[in-house]
Each structure stands twice: as C-alpha cells, then as structure tokens.
Amino acid sequence: MQKEAVFTDLIREHQSLLYKVTSIYSDNKEDQEDLFQEIVYQLWKYFDSFRNDSKITTWMYRVAMNTSITFIKKKKRRPDSVPIADVFVKQSDSNDDTYEERLRLLYQHLKYLNTLEKGLIFLLLEGKSYKEIAQITGLNDSNVGTKISRIKKKLKINMAKQ
Amino acid sequence: MELEELKSAWTQMSDELNHQKKLTNQIILDMTKQKYQNKFTTITKYETLGAVVCFVVAFFVLLNFSKLDTWYLQVCGVLTLSFLIVLPVMVLTTLKRLKNIDILNGSYKENLKFYLKTKNRLLRLQKIGIAVGFIALFFIVPVTSKIISNKNVFLTSLKTEQYIVFAITLIIMVFFCRWAYNGYLKITQSAQELIQELE
C-alpha cells in the first residue's frame, strides 16, 4: 500500500484519539479545528521517522500531545484551514441531557489543570497504564504515579467545592 | 461528580467518538497540504499587491512612452519598464514554485533540495530588487517627471527642497528594505525548518 494511503487510513482509524487530545487542549471550536489540522500535519511530517519499537498509538499520543503544547504556546489563529466543521466529530450525537451535563462537568474540571496535568489525566482516562504513560510522556514510572495521585487529589478538592 | 464518574463519562464519549469516523482521505490530504501552503499566504498576498501596482505603473509609462523625446529619457523609460515588469514576474513565479512543492509525494531529500534552491533564488531576487530599487530612483524620477509635468530633470536644476525630499525618500527606502528583507528571511527560515524537521 502507498505511504499516503497508509497514513490516511491511520488518521481515519484514530481520529477520535486526535479529537480527544484537541478537546483537552483548546478552548473553542476554531482552535480545536486548527489544532486538529496541525496535529495531522505533524504526524505526516514524522510519519517516516516512526519505527516499530513502540505501538503506533503511543507514537500518535506523543506527537499529538507535543504539538498541543507547542500550539498552546503559540496560540494564534492560522489562516485558511481546510473547512472540516461538517465532518468534525462531535462529543455526542445523542440527545441524552444527563450525558451532556456529565461531559460539560468533565471538561469544566479538566480546565483547572495545567498543561502537564491535563496530559497525564487524559492518558489515565484513556485507560493507559503508568508504564505506557511514562513511555508517551518521557517521565519515569514512579514520577508518573506521584504526579497522578497529586492530580487526583487536586481534582477531588475541586469537585468537592462544586 | 466523582473521579469514577469522570472516567465513565470519558469512556462513554470515547465509545461515541469511535462510531463517528467522518474524515475522508481527501480531507486529510488537503489539510496536510494546506498547512504547508499557509506559510506562504502572507508573503504572496503582499507580493501580488506589489506586482499589480508595478504593472499598473508600467502600463501608464508604456502609454506615455512617446512623451520621452530624448534618447537618454527613452533609455530611462526602458529601464523603468524592465524594473516594473521583470522582477515582480520573477518573484511571483518563484513564490508559486515554493508553494507548489508536493510535500505529500516527493521524498524528503528531494523536497529539501528543491526548497533550498528555490528559497535561495527568491532571496537573491529580493536582494537584487532592493539594490536595483535604489538605482531605479535615478531613472524612474526622470521618466515620471517628464510624463507627468513635461520636465526634463537632466536639464533642470533641482531646488534645495527637492534634494531634501530625495534624501528623505532614500532614507525611508533603506529602513523599508531592511524590514521587508528580514521578514522574508523569517518566513523562509520557518518553512525551511518545517522541511528539516521531517528528518
């Protein structure tokens, strides 16, 4: 299969992963679309350099999260994005109000975390083990454990306040 | 909301998202190409605007060329026309080539080589443009002066105010050219970094 086809299949297969990263690191729809496209571009740039020494999703998480951090630093709207609003995934297609409310609360809580904390809790919510989180973030296993327990405490205090 | 609830809300959202695979291959490829081309949007906009101004002025000079009644004014006229047409066309062509690098299909090495070659050509053109721009003042002024007010500046002695205006124009040009050239360096540098990062 051609490189181009392999890449597009990969993005299509894992678009929800990219969507979730962008939802954590952006405040509005425009930034989210822009960040999404930036991540796809960065993944393409580094696609050749991917070696099968880790899972493809581990590599994707890493590139996506690094791009998001750079994006937050720059935080300026880039011109002429490809219009993807109509095809952009939505958090929910359902009309379930309780579910919508839970999602709103979820993002509200995440908003109070800093960039690193957001990244760590995101990976934890994605069901990653400490070892995998360490592999993606470059932190060591015990450091991940310490930081995550601190984030949990921070979240708990924040949740109790509301 | 408890931590466990947070997790279950996230899992539910993940499940929903997994059923929404709406991106097409074409959109993915388009957004990748667009990102590269965006880097050159600003520069192309200014260059196109500048080129249009140059072409309009060139057209005006061409229409009034018969008013240039001496051989040296005609030489100045030809030089003015060349300056107003040739350089903008060359710059726009080079920019077009830069924008159209096929980042999806070409290999990294090929792209980088082509990019560096084209970038250097563009910068060289800009340097030439800046240098010629200064010299151009000495042949554009006689041409416009003859066409607009029918005065042959080679036969008329300039007043002190005119010398001052000329000197101020030169100083403004120095600063403008430095600003524009640095802008070029910055944009081309960032695009070059993009391609180098591919490695």
Domains and CATH numbers, chain A: 1-89 (1.10.1740.10), 94-162 (1.10.10.10)
3-class SS shares of chain B: helix, strand, coil, % to 5: 85, 0, 15
Q: Provide CB contacts within 8 A for B91, sequence distance 6+.
A: B47, B51, B122, B125, B126, B129
* Mean pLDDT of the A4-30 span: 87
Q: How many CA atoms lie within 13 A of B80 on its CB side?
A: 27
B45 CB within 8 Å of a chain A CB = no
More confident: A46 or A132? A132
Question: A-B interface: how many C-beta pairs under 8 angstroms?
Answer: 121
More confident: B30 or A125? A125
pLDDT of residue B59: 93
Highest-confidence segment of A146-150, B17-21, B43-47? A146-150
Question: B118: domain range?
Answer: 36-197
Is the predicted pLDDT of residue A131 greater than 50, yes or no?
A: yes
Q: How many CA atoms lie within 13 A of A43 on its CB side?
A: 33
* Span A54-105, pLDDT tens digits: 788 999 998 898 888 878 766 654 545 555 444 444 455 556 677 778 888 8
Is the predicted pLDDT of residue B92 greater than 50, yes or no?
A: yes
* Span B94-113, pLDDT tens digits: 888 877 776 666 655 566 66
Of A4, A16, A89, the CB nearest to B29: A4
Has residue B127 been placed in a domain?
yes
Determine which of A67-71, A82-86, B87-91, B136-140 has the lowest per-residue pLDDT on average.
A82-86
Of B10, B30, B104, the CB nearest to A125: B10
Has residue B76 been placed in a domain?
yes
Q: Taking CB atoms and an 8 Å limit, are B2 and A45 in contact across chains?
A: no
Give the chain A residue whose CA is nearest to the CA of B21.
Answer: A12
* Dihedral angle, C-alpha B103, B104, B106, B107, nearest 10 °: 90
Query: Where are the extended beta strands (E) located within A24-134?
Result: none
CA–CA separation, B130 and A110 (whole Å): 52
B116: how many CB neighbours lie within 10 A of its CB? 14
Residue A141, classified by CB atoms within 10 Å of its CB into exposed (0-12), middle (13-18) or buried (19+), is middle
Provide the mean pLDDT of chain B: 78
When scoring B14, B15, B26, B27 by the number of chain A Cβ atoms within 10 A, the one with the most, hence best to mutate, is B27
Has residue B1 been placed in a domain?
no
When scoring B8, B16, B45, B187 by the number of chain A Cβ atoms within 10 A, the one with the most, hence best to mutate, is B16
* Mean pLDDT of the B103-128 span: 69
* Span B172-196, pLDDT tens digits: 888 888 887 777 677 667 656 655 5
B3 CB within 8 Å of a chain A CB = yes
Has residue B75 been placed in a domain?
yes
Tokens representing B104 are 């999806």
Tokens representing A155 are 């979240």
Of A16, A80, A127, the CB nearest to B38: A80
Provide the mean pLDDT of chain A: 81
Sign of CA dihedral B27, A115, A150, A106: negative
Sign of CA dihedral A121, A124, A130, A131: negative
A109 CB within 8 Å of a chain B CB = yes
Query: Where are the extended beta strands (E) located within A49-96?
Result: none
The closest of A41, A90, A81 to A63, measured between CA atoms, is A41
CA–CA separation, B41 and B57 (whole Å): 25
Has residue B80 been placed in a domain?
yes
Q: How many CA atoms lie within 13 A of A45 on its CB side?
A: 24
pLDDT of residue B56: 93
CA–CA separation, A143 and A137 (whole Å): 11
